[in-house]
């Protein structure tokens, strides 16, 4: 069995600081800094790997804000022509339920080029007037 060489701790026993300096004495982890120090320089690799949203404004979104998804007559006319919104035939009339496509409100911007019955939760007055001029109809109210 080999004899162990004396440890540093035995050699430094009488020196008060035991080799760890005058002030800190092995208390901290050096000049590493906290999570907020050196993120754009020394710890950039950590930011790239783990801190995707570290920089920039993050803000506050009011959770009570009601967001309404609206569609104008111009957009509706274009989407029906392109086939993005499917039109149903009901008693010889074209019929669209906008709630099925995620829209809450019909706005009056633009014009419709064909008569259509539109079922939607909310609508502006100008949109209702323009749809009626073409020969269509707007059915308001909760859609379920």
Residue 6 lies in a domain: no
Question: What share of the chain in percent tops pLDDT 90?
Answer: 44
Evaluate whether residue 77 is within a structural domain. Answer: yes
Please report whether residue 53 resides in a domain. no
pLDDT at position 121 over 60: yes
Is residue 50 a part of any domain in this protein? no
Domain assignment of residue 103, yes or no = yes
Q: Report yes or no on 56 lying in a domain.
A: no
For residue 142, what pLDDT is reported?
65
pLDDT at 32 over 90: no
Does residue 61 form part of some domain?
no
Could you report the per-residue pLDDT of 70-115, keeping only the tens digit for each?
999 999 999 999 989 889 988 888 899 999 999 999 999 999 998 9
Q: Residue 91 maps to which CATH number?
A: 3.100.10.10
Instruction: State the pLDDT at residue 31.
Output: 64
87 and 80 in contact (C-beta within 8 Å)?
Answer: yes
In the predicted model, what is the mean pLDDT of the chain? 86
pLDDT, position 72: 94
pLDDT over threshold 70, residue 52: yes
Q: How many domains is the chain partitioned into structurally?
A: 1
Residue 42 lies in a domain: no
Domain range for 108: 70-139
pLDDT tens-place string over residues 21-30: 888 777 776 6
Question: Rounded distance, CA 131 to CA 135, Å?
Answer: 7
Least confident of 6-20, 53-67, 110-124: 6-20
């Amino acid at each position: 069995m080999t004899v162990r060489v004396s440890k540093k701790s035995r050699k430094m026993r009488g020196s008060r600081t035991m080799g760890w300096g005058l002030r800190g004495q092995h208390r901290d982890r050096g000049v590493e800094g906290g999570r907020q120090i050196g993120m754009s320089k020394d710890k950039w690799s950590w930011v790239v790997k783990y801190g995707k949203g570290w920089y920039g404004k993050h803000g506050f979104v009011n959770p009570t804000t009601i967001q309404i998804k609206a569609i104008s007559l111009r957009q509706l006319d274009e989407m029906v022509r392109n086939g993005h919104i499917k039109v149903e035939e009901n008693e010889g009339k074209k019929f669209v339920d906008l709630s099925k496509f995620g829209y809450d409100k019909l706005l009056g911007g633009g014009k419709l080029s064909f008569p259509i019955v539109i079922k939607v939760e909310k609508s502006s007055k100008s949109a209702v007037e323009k749809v009626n001029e073409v020969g269509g109809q707007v059915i308001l109210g909760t859609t379920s």
